[in-house]
Every structure is written in structure tokens, then in C-alpha cells.
Amino acid sequence: MQLKSPKLYLPKIMAGFPSPAEDFTELSISLDQVLVKNPPATFMAYAEGDSMIDMGIHHGDIIIVDRSLTPCNGDIIVAALEGEFLIKQFSKTKTHIKLIPHNSKYPIIYINEDTDFQVWGVVVHSIRSYR
Amino acid sequence: MIALADCNNFYASCERVFRPKLNGKPVVVLSNNDGCVIARSNEAKALGIKMGEPAFKSRDIFKRNGIHVFSTNFALYGDFSNRVMSILSDSVPSIEIYSIDEAFMNFRGIPKKEEFGIELREKVLQWTGIPISIGIAPTKTLSKVANSIAKKQRKNGVCVLMDENEALEYLKLFPVANLWGVGRRFSQMLQNNSIQNAYELTQKSDHWLQKHMSIVGLKMVKELRGEPCFDMVNGWRRKKSILTSRTFGHEIDNFKGLAQALSTYASMCAAKLRKEGSCAKTIHIMIFTNPFKQNYRMNYKGSKTIILDTPTNDGLEIVSRCIDALRSIYRRDCIYKRAGVIVSDIVPQSQVQLTFFHKHANIEKRQNLMTAVDKLNDGYGRMKVRFAINGFEKKWHLRQEKLSPCYTTRISDLLRIKC
């Protein structure tokens, strides 16, 4: 991930008819720009495990986390729970906070006042490689 | 109005961002080669761990108190520094980056300065996980004082020293030795003149101050009185010199090994010059033996300065000049512990004047070569493409036994999170 802006490369044209496309040259698409809206607050991590499989986050996926966002109901978050990081779905009601897994094998985690809990960041993308 | 933002226990805070387990636990960071303590979390400070304490002496204390120890991970700290500075510079009209963890900010025209400071602090903490303190005052020197008050006495991490009388009250409690730019030299002299706190210093006459502390000292005191004397510099200052120097992980007793180390530092200096678009005219090399091991050994410090005809940032040229110079100062009867390269007389690359005998084509070729090398190394990791003389021996590499992963700069080191 870069904080710098990309450079523009144009081929040198030696002679002959100028390329008709030259005036229409645009920056090539940058995945950085698509996936990273706020570079200083964005971090990447690998997901490990299968508790979010029904949400489409698989073991080995790269997740992109934006710490500048405030989590809304239904967001996937990175939580710091009792000193450990977890990826779960965030759910907040008037009375309590729940961390919901998306795999029936795993239980819902209920957060109460005594729990050492913090939202570390909001997961905004996940990237999976197929080969 | 100037505000100084300073990251709290910066290196220790960086180590904590990816380890929530360490919140509330004592953390220390050791210098290069794990030599001594260079950063402490508040908990480590409370345990009485001192700055600069040699690590080998403190092993037991670390163990007994469950202190978490890290080697310096400058890749990680540099990345967090960039993040913090980029947030600050997007939030205020202009900033001057003063060090890896400090920046002066221009607060002119910002209404409700304290609230703004508190919000900015919250933003940096939420976005990066790094806690900062902000001192706001009419001058740079006072903003340093305000920052130190913010760090120690303000829960919200922000202190504003606008009111002159209020500022004076704080200066009465502020030891002169902690003032910006006083240092060990002046603090002894001031103590001899029975000046204990910053307020007493502001009461001295300008004549006395200039005589005893030079013009810079006088300016500093004028700033304490609220009169701005040091201007803001925009962004980064162009460096006056670049130093790359390391203590070896293991001592070196042959020319080849020393040449490998020195040429690596020379290449690193050249790469830094190219990165900031500068050229250097003077190269200085240094080699040292270990002064603490004197039995049966020669204690020797060798150094040589090379002045180039034309300023350069060409790695090939800088390395070959360094090796030539090394030949003339190398002594076979010594065992070396440390070496370094300093490049100075730095000018912007665009202002370099070529001598009459330079061949333009050759220079362009070299520049293209260096650009290609930089690009490869940017993409694949530092020193992946190197000069043969740099070698691949690791003997003189840093000792970093407790190095944390480069969480933000290496894909293989990314955090792994359970789900």
C-alpha cells in the first residue's frame, strides 16, 4: 500500500503519425485507490479460520481494515477481545453488543461491561486468490 | 499560534498497536544490536527502567517484572510516523516535521484551539492507534513546554498556554534542564548561577543571556516570554547530511568484511540521496574498533574525507570512492566493531553543475541504471539488487533478537487474525 500518488508513463513517440489515443491517456486503474479510501488509517491482515465462511471470508483471505470508520450494525469488524484479535460481525442493541460468527459451528459472543473489548477497525474488503 | 504534536512513547506505542495484549503492560524497545533501552511505556517508566540502560545489565529486571522487550523495528516505526504525519498535515494549514515522532503545526486561524486539539488527538488515536500529546502556545519553545505539561498532567492530552500570566505560573514549576535547547552544557552553568526554573531564566537581562548562552539561547528565552523568534519550516527540511553507521553484530577482522559493510552503508546513503532528489559533494568514512575491549588489542579510529569534483548520488561512484578511501585507512592489526558513512554538502540534483569533461551520455546512462535499481528495490525489498562488493555475508548485520514483524510493510509479515 502506498501513500504516494502513482506516476504516469507515456511511451516515447519517435516519428510518423501521432497516436490518436495520446490525448485520451488516463491513469491506469489502481487497486490501491479502489480498495484504500483512507491510506493513513488502513491496515491489511490475513484471515485465519472458518467462522466467517458464510459471509464469504475464507481462511487465507487478505482483509482490508479501515480504522477511521465507526462501526454500524451489520459491519464486519476486527475486535480486540481480551487481548486477542477476532473477525466477527458487529451487532449493537440498546442493551448490549454481540459479535456474530457466520458458521453454525460457532457461538455468538456477548459483550458486557466487564469484557475487555474494543473495536480495532472495520473490515471494508476481503481479497481471495484462486490460484 | 503554534502547536507541537508529540507521540507518546512512540516506539513502544507502535509495538502495541498489533498486540492488544500489551495494553497496560510494561514495554521497552532496545537500540540497534539490542544495546540499551531507547523507549519505554509508562508502565516501564513506573518500574524505574531508565533511558539508555544497557540491556545486558537489565535482563533480570526485565524478566522479574514481566517486561516485554523488543528490538528496534524502524520499518514499522517509519510507517506509523508517515501515517501520523499525513493525518496531521491534512488537518492543519501547514506542519513542520521535526523528528520521527514530533511535528510543529501552524494553528493560526483555527478557532477553539483546545477543542480542535482534542479532536485531532482523538482522530490520530482512532486511525492509527498511536496516542499523541499536543501543546498549543504562541511560540515554538512554549509549545514544547505546553506539550510536556499535556503529557504529564492532562487527561485529554492537550494543553494550551495562551494567557501570559498563566504561562508564567507554569514556567515557575518547569525545571530549566527540561527546556528545549538547554541541554547538559547550559543546565550546569544555570545551576551555578542558581537558576532552577524556566521563570527565573526569563527574568534575566538580554545582555546576560546572550553573553552566557549565545544568540540562540537569547532567542529561546524571548520565545518563553511569548515573543516568536523561530519560524515554522514547511514540510521536511532538506537534510544537511546523511549518516549511515552501524555497530556490527559480530566484530570484523578482515578487509573484505569491512569493505562489504562500508559499501553497504555507502549504497544506503546514495539511495537516500536519490530518494530525496539530492546530490552530495563530500563523503566521509569512519571505522572503529571496540574501545571497551582493550586487552591485547589495538584501539583505533580511522576516518577519511573525500571531496568530489561534482556532487553525485550515483551509488557506483560513492561506493568505489569509499572503498578507495578505506584502503588508505585500513589497519590489519585491528578488529573492527563499527563503521559509518556520512555524505554532506548536499544540493538539489537539479542544481548540480557538471565539469567541462563530463560526458552527458554516460551520466544519463548511470542515472537510468540507478533509477532501475531503486525501482527494483522499492518493489522487492531493500538491497535486493546490490553491488557485488556489498556481499551477502550476514556476520556484520544487526543483532535483533526480539524483532517484531514488519506488519505494515511486508506482505509475509501481515497480522493473522482468527475468525
**What pLDDT is attached to residue B293?**
65
CB pairs under 8 A between A and B: 79
For A20-40, write each residue's pLDDT tens digit: 776 776 777 888 889 999 999
Closest alpha carbon within chain B to A88: B419
Helix (H, G, I), strand (E, B) or coil at A69: coil
Q: Which grid coordinates are listed for B11?
A: 516506539
Nearest to B414 among A44, A50, A80 (CB): A44
Catalytic residue among A5, A28, A88, A98: A88
Bigger pLDDT: A130 vs A11: A130
CA B192 – CA B204 distance, rounded (Å): 14
pLDDT reported for residue B266: 93
Asked about A88 being catalytic, the answer comes back as: yes
Nearest CA in chain B to A106: B419
Does the CB of B84 have a partner CB in chain A at under 8 Å? yes
B360 Cβ under 8 Å from any chain A Cβ: no
Average pLDDT value over all residues in chain A: 87
| Separation of first and last alpha carbons in chain A | 22
Question: Which residues are CB-contacts of B184 (< 8 A; sequence separation ≥ 6)?
Answer: B177
pLDDT, one tens digit per residue, over B234-254 is 655 556 788 888 888 888 888
More confident call, B185 vs A57: A57
| B21 touches A: beta carbon within 8 Å | yes
Judged by CB atoms closer than 8 Å, whether chains meet at B126 and A85 is answered as no
Whole-complex ipTM: 0.84
Please, what is the angle between helix B315-329 and helix B255-275, to 10°?
Answer: 150
Min Cα distance A29 → chain B (Å) is: 18
A66 in helix, strand or coil?
A: strand
Chain B residues in contact with A68 by the CB 8 A cut-off are 123, 126-127
Query: pLDDT of chain B along its 419 residues, tens only?
Result: 999 999 999 999 999 999 999 999 999 999 877 888 999 999 999 999 999 888 888 889 999 999 999 998 988 999 999 999 999 999 999 998 888 899 999 998 899 999 999 999 999 999 999 999 999 999 999 999 999 999 999 999 999 998 888 899 999 999 998 898 787 778 889 989 999 999 999 999 999 999 999 888 899 999 999 999 988 776 555 567 888 888 888 888 889 999 999 999 999 999 989 988 889 988 999 998 877 665 556 778 888 888 888 889 998 899 999 999 999 999 888 889 889 999 988 888 877 766 666 666 677 788 888 888 888 877 777 777 777 777 766 656 667 778 889 999 888 899 999 98
The confidence band for A2, taking pLDDT boundaries of 50, 70 and 90, is low
| pLDDT score of A7 | 46
Q: Where are the alpha helices (DSSP H) in A17-120?
A: 31-35
What is the reported pLDDT for A5? Answer: 45
SS (H, E, C) chain B: CEEEEEECCHHHHHHHHCCHHHCCCCEEEECHHHCEEEEECHHHHHCCCCCCCEHHHHHHHHHHCCCEEEECCHHHHHHHHHHHHHHHHHHCCCEEEEECCEEEEECCCCCCHHHHHHHHHHHHHHHHCCCEEEEEECCHHHHHHHHHHHHHHCCCCEEECCCHHHHHHHHHCCEHHHCCCCHHHHHHHHHHCCCCEHHHHHCCCHHHHHHHHHHHHHHHHHHHCCCCCCCCCCECCCCCEEEEEEEEEEEECCHHHHHHHHHHHHHHHHHHHHHCCEEEEEEEEEEEECCCCCCCCCCCEEEEEEEEEEEECCHHHHHHHHHHHHHHHCCCCCCEEEEEEEEEEEEEHHHCCCCCCCCHHHHHHHHHHHHHHHHHHHHHCCCCCCCHHHCCCCCCCCCCCCCCCCCCCCHHHCEEEEC
Q: Answer for the pair B54, B382: CB distance below 8 angstroms, yes or no.
A: no
pLDDT in tens, B140-186: 999 999 999 999 999 999 999 988 888 999 999 999 988 987 877 78
Cβ(B376)–Cβ(B370) below 8 Å:
no
Cβ atoms of B174 and B224 within 8 Å: the answer is: no
pLDDT of A102 reads: 96
